Amino acid sequence: MPLQLFDMAKHQKLLKRRNFLISLGALAAIGSGIGWRRLKSYTQALAVDNPMRNFHVANDLPLRRRVTTKGLIYGAYTETDHKVFSQNQTLQSSFVQECGLLLGGFYWGIIRPNATDFDFSQTDYFANFASENGMLFRGHPLIWHDFPPDWLNERFKSAKTTPREIRDIFTTHISTVVKRYAGRIHSWDVVNEVVHLDDGRRDGLRTSPWLKFVGPDYIELAFKTAASADPNALLVYNENYLEYDTREYDAKRDAVLKLLEHLKSKRTPVHALGIQSHLLAHETRFHPNKLRKFLADVANLGLKIMITELDVIDAELPADIKVRDRIVASTYEDYLSVVLDEPAVIAVITWGLSDKYTWLSEAAPRPDGRAVRPLPLDSNFERKLAWNAIARAFDNAPKR
């Protein structure tokens, strides 16, 4: 059922407590750079918090059903391996109820135990689960610079390794994986996080081992290899740090657009841009019109857009769960209300479904040790204000 509205009788008490906590935070922060940073984030979050905000939804239809009339897809990443997933009936039921798409992790460390063998036990399980429950299946990622398995890392570091050897590993991997799931998969993140301006290249590309051994055309090669293996799959270039209004994000958006223009000019079969969207609940530097223009520029290239790894990081928010949940929900609704205005956006995928299983517990833990709450469902698989916010954004989105 939809969550109840904020209890207005507690509003004044909350404001008094808020002022008291700010005073305590200021005292604790003196002499500490980290303390001042946290205090700034804390006060920024409180400044945008609105206890009066209404997150009411008209009905309790699951998210997967809310989006169908809009021509959209909603789904989530499992955030567990297949063994944990298969043993948790509540987790399975939540995915079946809420999600029209299930994302499976095709990380090299999972499916490539060595140079000659593949292990598809986990990805097969999730592909079958999706099919049996009327869900689309999506794969992430085919090519990524991070977390290579030990055997591949040794090849990268060895002076004896030749570009031809790595190129063969590269194309064989893509072709083998994509062919196995041809006809069963909705979309692939073909390449992930390839733009990294800090590396200083004029083309903006990350100085990854793939770039070193295969060359700058490795992105084009990846897409062409995937398209050859499955001509019907939606092929996605997935990237991070595209959402906010800073010089760094501006430069990243420009570099991504240039890369997409370059790929299209070479007739590369790239069909969509994936925008990760790991949002910061305390961040106030969000410019809706600037993001709208970027999305329109991508769409004008003839590309679809997917929100691929959506969650809201609450590490810098106050401890009070009602305040935290309200700010997280506001972040979801404000962001989705902007991106869903763009007709080229066809899917929203959260990076997990329940707070019980989220990478942010380790990647962005709260300094006070309390559990993070970044996802639509809480750790007991109950709907939160974040669920309401996503539902409201879907309800108000224009039809595709």
Domain range list for the chain: 57-396
Residue 133 has a pLDDT of 98
- Would you place residue 180 in the very low, low, confident or very high pLDDT band (cuts 50, 70, 90)? very high
Pair 111, 100: CB distance under 8 Å: no
69-92 average pLDDT score: 97
Residue 49 has a pLDDT of 86
Residue 326 has a pLDDT of 97
Could you tell me which residue, 7 or 371, shows the higher pLDDT? 371
264-292 average pLDDT score: 97
Catalytic site positions: 193, 309
User: 57-396 maps to which CATH number?
Assistant: 3.20.20.80
0.85 exceeded by pTM: yes
Residue 293: its H or E element: helix 288-299
On the question of pLDDT at 364 being above 80, the answer is yes
Residues across the chain? 400
3-state secondary structure of 178: helix
Residue 108: its H or E element: helix 108-111
Eight-class DSSP state of 342: S
Residue 45 has a pLDDT of 64
Torsion sign (Cα): 217, 222, 223, 224: positive
Please tell me the distance from the alpha carbon of residue 225 to that of residue 390, in angstroms, as a whole number.
36
Residue 10 has a pLDDT of 33
Closest CA to 316 of 49, 30, 123: 49
On the question of pLDDT at 210 being above 80, the answer is yes
15-32 average pLDDT score: 35
On the question of pLDDT at 189 being above 50, the answer is yes
Tens digit of pLDDT for each residue in 139-166? 999 999 999 999 999 999 999 999 999 9
Could you tell me which residue, 40 or 23, shows the higher pLDDT? 40
